[in-house]
Homo-oligomer: A and B are copies of this chain.
Amino acid sequence: MDLARLIQIARGAEPADLLLTNARVLDLYACDIIPADVAIAGGRIAGIALPETDAYQARDVLDLHGSYLAPGLIDGHVHIESSLVNVPEFARAIVPRGTTTIIADPHEIANVLGMTGIRYILDAAKYNPLSVFVMASSCVPAGPLESSGAQLSAYDLESLLQDKWVLGLAEMMDFRGVLATDDDVLAKLRTAAARPIDGHAPGVRGVDLNAYVAAGIGSDHECTTREEAQEKLRRGMVIMIREATGARNLSELVPLVTPQTSRRFVFCTDDRTPVTLLDEGHIDAMIRQSIVLGLDPLLAFQLASLNAAEYFGLRDRGAITPGRRADLIAFDDLRAPRPRLVFRHGQLVAQDGKLLPYDRPLRLATLPVSLSVPRTSLQFRIPAQGNRMHVIQIIPNQIVTRAATDDATIAHAEAVADPGRDLLKLAVIERHTGSGRTGLGFVRGFGLQLGALA
């Protein structure tokens, strides 16, 4: 908005667009709660004043009757694709939960469609009541064993980084490539030098961690133990505490967050299925959970907004101060915050858990079809080769699995699934080129009793 007008409104010389009265504002800088009126103009916070001062007039006034007011929540690292829905539907799930900004890594869609997929996410993110920043996916494909539909080079990433919604380089999963000073990996890191570069380094410790951090990688969201997170904190990494559907690290890591260290922690969801999003929630659920675990609510909100804003250099959000975006949430229970009102850029966009209607293009961005699997190539038989076999052992609530062996169940000279022993057959089918290449194996601990999942 016009700077002169914002200054005039902030001084109280002109009426604001909206005045939220009788709020209890979460002050994430002084770390306490202050009773205040908050004036909003042109989508920005113009001013904060004590309620009794009548400092501000406004076109619209909304009395919050003592509700708490916090900055809109920020998810520091998320793959929208894990929600299985497109961006507007994802916004419908998380904006009513108070999330107004996400930092998305579109590497799942990039694995299928490359740059086309990332451009699709950037396009589809427009005109929704959610700020979708993107980190340029650093590892497409994710590893050398993968049959991906596309590859991204440093040149592709350089091109992405020109977009104002692209902040830096997404999780550098190829930590072996970093440590081996692989030319392509280093070229990608150089492309994003001086920008935020996210890490992904499960179990990388000691001198390897030194090398990984020296390469310019600034965060990690793969810590599963307090010891690992503590070491990464010491080496200067921002620790993103992840609570994904299948990888839950919050209860393990929250005890590390103290007033002294809180500035170095950020909340992220990484991968949440629709069921988790709808039943538990999003970053709001992480706030509630961490408060139950004993974290000061003000520190929890720092992790849920301010700290992510600072790490990503988003100076226009993360706190309720003059000049910042009026991305705000109102709620009534400080010990279990559930956003009742969600404002984005000064507009009320969600209320009582529901997204309000908003204007958006009728025609959504479209994508080319990316499935090419000839029916004739489908083949799921595993000839029996003895009484024992390798199985993938699932570890509950974790992203990592364990290699194990088990007795084979044999029928008609084939190793077959045996749901009674929770032993299921798994197939990975190359879908991009129609090559028919298929990997087969067994998984234990999944719990499916009937039918199949594709």
Nearest Cβ in chain B — how far from A39, in angstroms? 8
Question: How many Å lie between the Cα of A391 and that of B235 in the bound state?
Answer: 57
**Interface residues as binary, A196-219 with B (CB distance below 8 Å gives 1, 0 otherwise):** 000000000011101101111010
Residues of B close to A178: CB separation below 8 A: 7
| 0 or 1 for each of A284-326: is its CB under 8 Å from B? (1 = yes) | 0000000000000010000000000010010100010111100
Residue of B34, B181, B206, B213 near A4 (CB, 8 A) is: B181
For the complex, is A10 an interface residue (Cβ under 8 Å from B)?
yes
Confirm or deny: A190 has a beta carbon within 8 angstroms of a beta carbon on chain B: yes
User: Contact partner of A46 among B7, B214, B324, CB < 8 A?
Assistant: B214
A12 in the interface (beta carbon within 8 A): yes
B46–A210 CB distance below 8 A: yes
Select from chain B the residue with minimum beta-carbon distance to A182.
B4
The answer to whether A55 and B7 touch across the interface, beta carbons within 8 angstroms, is no
Return the CB mask of A205-249 against B: 1 if under 8 Å, else 0. Answer: 011101101111010000000000010011110000000000000
Query: Cβ of B322 and Cβ of A235 under 8 Å apart?
Result: yes
User: Per-residue CB proximity of A262-293 to B under 8 Å, as 1/0?
Assistant: 01100000000000000000000000000000
- In the bound assembly, the distance between CA atoms of A384 and B6 in angstroms comes to 50
Q: Are A10 and B207 in contact (CB under 8 A)?
A: yes
Query: A381 in the interface, Cβ–Cβ < 8 Å?
Result: no
Question: Smallest CB-CB separation from A315: which chain B residue?
Answer: B194
| Contact assessment for A214 and B315 in the assembled complex, using a CB-CB cutoff below 8 Å | no
**Hey, which chain B residues are within 8 Å of A372, CB to CB?**
none
- The interface centre, meaning the residue of A3, A55, A210 with most chain B CB atoms within 10 A of its CB, is A210
Structural contact, A29 and B236, CB atoms closer than 8 A? yes
A12-49 CB contacts (< 8 Å) to partner B: 12, 27, 29-31, 34, 44-49
Whether a CB of chain B sits under 8 angstroms from the CB of A389 is: no
> How far does the Cβ of A328 sit from chain B's closest Cβ, in whole Å?
14
B261, A7: Cβ atoms under 8 Å?
no
Bound CA–CA A240/B45 (angstroms): 24
Please determine whether B7 and A214 come into contact, CB atoms closer than 8 angstroms: yes
Pick the contact of A190: B3, B181, B260, B321 (CB < 8 A). B3
Chain B nearest CB from A33 CB (Å) reads: 11
Which residues in B have their C-beta under 8 angstroms from that of A260?
A: 30-31, 259, 298
The CA-CA distance from A31 to B324 in the complex, in Å, is 30
Whether, in the assembled complex, A186 has its beta carbon less than 8 Å from a beta carbon of chain B, the answer is yes
**A262 CB to nearest B CB, Å:** 8
* Complex copy number for this chain: 2
| Minimal beta-carbon separation of A432 from chain B (angstroms) | 33
A11 interface contact, C-beta 8 A: yes
Q: Which of B47, B211, B313, B322 contacts A322 (CB 8 A)?
A: B211
Q: Across the two chains, which residue of chain B brings its CB closest to A5?
A: B181
Q: How far is the CA of A55 from the CA of B209 in the complex (A)?
A: 12
**Residue A349 at the B interface, CB < 8 A?**
no
A-side interface size class: 35 or more
- When chains A and B are docked, how far (Å) is the Cα of A84 from the Cα of B171? 50
- Cross-interface CB contact of A179 among B7, B186, B234, cutoff 8 Å: B7
A258 at the interface (CB under 8 A from B): yes
* Contact across chains for A233 and B29 when beta carbons are under 8 A apart: yes
Q: Which residue of B lies closest to A46 (CB)?
A: B214
Chain B neighbourhood of A322, CB < 8 A: 210-211, 213-214, 235-236
List, in ascending order, chain B residues with CB within 8 A of A298's CB: 260
Is the CB of A8 closer than 8 A to any CB of chain B? yes
The answer to the question of A189 belonging to the interface, with a C-beta cut-off of 8 Å to chain B, is yes
Chain B residues with CB under 8 Å of A29's CB are 233-234, 236, 261, 264
Interface set, chain A 82-103, CB cutoff 8 A to B:
none
**CB–CB B7/A211 < 8 A:** yes
Decide if A214 touches B259 in the complex (CB within 8 Å). no
Known contacts A31-B260, A261-B30, A263-B263: A48-B210 contact under CB 8 Å: yes
Contact A189 B49, beta carbon cutoff 8 Å:
no
Q: Are A233 and B30 in contact (CB under 8 A)?
A: yes
Known pairs A4-B181, A234-B321 / 6 extra A-B pairs, C-beta < 8 Å: A4-B186, A10-B207, A31-B260, A46-B210, A215-B323, A258-B259
Q: Mark A314-351, 1 if CB is under 8 A from B, else 0.
A: 01000101111000000000000000000000000000
Q: Could you tell me the distance between the alpha carbons of A213 and B322 in the complex, rounded to whole angstroms?
A: 6
Q: Of B215, B315, B324, which is within 8 A of A7 by CB?
A: B215
Q: How far is the CB of A401 from chain B (nearest CB, A)?
A: 28
